[in-house]
Structure 1
Amino acid sequence: MVETRKVLVDRAGGIGIVTLNRPEQRNAIDAETCAQLRAAFDGIEADDSLRIAVLAAKGPVFCAGMDLKAFVNGEAEQILFGPGRLGGFASRVRRKPVIAAVQGAALAGGFEIMLACDMAVAVRGAIFGLPECKRGIVAGAGGAFRLGQLLPRAIANEILLTGAPFDAERAASLGLINRITEGDPLPEALRLARDIAENAPLSISASLDLARCAQDAVSETCWAENDRHLRALIASEDAKEGARAFAERRGARWTGC
């Protein structure tokens, strides 16, 4: 195993395994984690012996999203707008499929990273959600428009506008995850990955490309609108208040500015 501190990289046959390794910070994404996650997937894409990857996490939480302390400390540009955007992953172009193995919570940017994967396996009891409206920002790592692509409008709007969390059973019923496990989701994610890795690599790549075709046709426009809204919101006083209120465990006092 190669440890890059905040991100671990391993392999199992033709499967690359990338693991978020900030359990004490609920695997929140800061600038350094972005850089390491980006480098991990650069390596997987460049390695012709790897057919597929699994994205997992250490500790009881898959990913809590952007590290709000890093955001307050001035890392927003690197975290949100660096190559590949959040995690160096949310908008990166990939030719190899990625399966998320989700334990605990995948919230905010953590859920958006899961949505950027091609498939997902989650433990029963996992929690998902996009609480950005509760923080004075927007699900700006693709979550807002990806939910709009994947789900009926009313359901996507409910998830986005209430910010309320939901469980793995509902995620499965909505088609957002493939399988629910009773324990650690990584073994099941690896089983699914092995089933895929046995197939012809050019066929895997072509099939993935075609499956994404309809969504990718509008993605460039969506990302441009996404970034316009996100930049305006993270510069707002409400965004600063949302982060402070979250850190201080109190209700936010919104001003609309």
Structure 2
Amino acid sequence: MSYEYINYEVEGALAIITINRPEAHNALNARAHVELENAFDRFAADPDQWVAIITATGEKAFCAGHDLKQQAAGGGMVVPETGFAGLTGRFDMNKPVIAAVNGVAMGGGFEIVLASDIVVASENALFALPEPRVGLAALAGGIQRLPREIGLKRAMGMMLTGRRVTAQEGYQLGFVNEVATGNVLDAAKRWAVDILACSPLSVQATKEAVLKGLTVPVEQALVDEWAYPAMQAMLASADAVEGPAAFAEKRAPKWQGK
């Protein structure tokens, strides 16, 4: 499909998805949601794309959340089945997603961040779930994910007040991996390069096992992980042979993703 509110770029095995509504602080209207869902569908289905970065145009805002002006005008709160931005409800995608946060990430914008696997934030980034301040609630996973990522009391301190958290505090709380002193997209690409140095099937198997293992006791997770689809695909792959061979031959592995 053609895109009006996002950009989709490919750099080798890396996909870069950019929200492009800077005039609206990159808030998502109905069309932007559809485009983002299509972009993540495209990324998930492409065997040659192994890592994605989600970012936005401009330096002021990553995503100000749902387009409240659209809602106030009677447009409703239209969200795809795969969740806010086509990401927050996408529980079957094992490929890693990096959020490169270039400014304000509020409401649904913060929920995009919480649904990502690695978060790199600019020094001016701000995070909040301010929905209670406008008579709403964080219904795209923020209520569930934030306590799991930073602990109940600290999450309650953010969610019940709607207060804003800086990038540095986000790093201290544990939901930000790096506060970038330079260009945030360049920093996110550094993380992508490190991931791409690993076997893509190993990365996918790891993500699947980690996320599924969070909901069961450790002893059960240790048994279950052998049966997970991504783990079985990894163990049966050519890459599982290539990795040890490359190590023994003291050379860089040539991953095929199969």
Corresponding position of 1:246:
none
Corresponding position of 1:230:
none
Deviation at 1:5, TM superposition (A): 1.6
More relative contact order, 1 or 2 (CA 8 Å, 6+ apart): 1
Instruction: Provide the C-alpha distance between the structure 2 equivalents of 1:84 and 1:76, rounded to a whole number of angstroms.
Output: 17
Q: Deviation string for 1:169-188 (max 9, x for gaps)?
A: 11001110111112320001
Instruction: Provide the C-alpha distance between the structure 2 equivalents of 1:109 and 1:214, rounded to a whole number of angstroms.
Output: 26
Contact kept, 8 Å, 1:29 with 1:66, in 2: the verdict is: yes
Instruction: Provide the C-alpha distance between the structure 1 equivalents of 2:159 and 2:30, rounded to a whole number of angstroms.
Output: 25
Corresponding position of 1:90:
88
Instruction: Provide the C-alpha distance between the structure 1 equivalents of 2:76 and 2:47, rounded to a whole number of angstroms.
Output: 33
Gaps in structure 2 of 5+ consecutive residues: 217-258
Corresponding position of 1:65:
65
Task: Say if 2:175 is the partner of 1:202.
Answer: no
Amino acid in the other structure paired with 2:140: A
Contact kept, 8 Å, 1:3 with 1:9, in 2: the verdict is: no
Q: Deviation string for 1:14-59 (max 9, x for gaps)?
A: 1000000000000101110010000001111111111110001001
Deviation at 1:197, TM superposition (A): 1.2
Task: Tell me the TM-score normalised to structure 1 length.
Answer: 0.80
Deviation at 1:215, TM superposition (A): 4.0
Contact kept, 8 Å, 1:121 with 1:185, in 2: the verdict is: yes
Deviation at 1:3, TM superposition (A): 6.5
Count of residues paired in the alignment: 214
Rg larger in structure: 2
CA RMSD of aligned residues (A): 1.5
Contact kept, 8 Å, 1:7 with 1:33, in 2: the verdict is: yes
Contact kept, 8 Å, 2:20 with 2:56, in 1: the verdict is: yes
Contact kept, 8 Å, 2:66 with 2:77, in 1: the verdict is: no
Deviation at 1:72, TM superposition (A): 2.2
4+ residue segments displaced more than 6 Å = none
Corresponding position of 2:121:
122
Instruction: Provide the C-alpha distance between the structure 2 equivalents of 1:46 and 1:198, rounded to a whole number of angstroms.
Output: 21
Gaps in structure 1 of 5+ consecutive residues: 218-257
Are residues 46 and 216 of structure 1, via their aligned partners in 2, closer, same or farther at CA, if it must alter by over 3 Å? farther
Contact kept, 8 Å, 1:149 with 1:215, in 2: the verdict is: no
Alignment of 1:155-194 (within 5 A): 155-194=154-193
Task: Tell me the TM-score normalised to structure 2 length.
Answer: 0.79
| Identity across the alignment (%) | 37
Instruction: Provide the C-alpha distance between the structure 2 equivalents of 1:11 and 1:151, rounded to a whole number of angstroms.
Output: 33
Are residues 122 and 157 of structure 1, via their aligned partners in 2, closer, same or farther at CA, if it must alter by over 3 Å? same
Are residues 70 and 125 of structure 1, via their aligned partners in 2, closer, same or farther at CA, if it must alter by over 3 Å? same
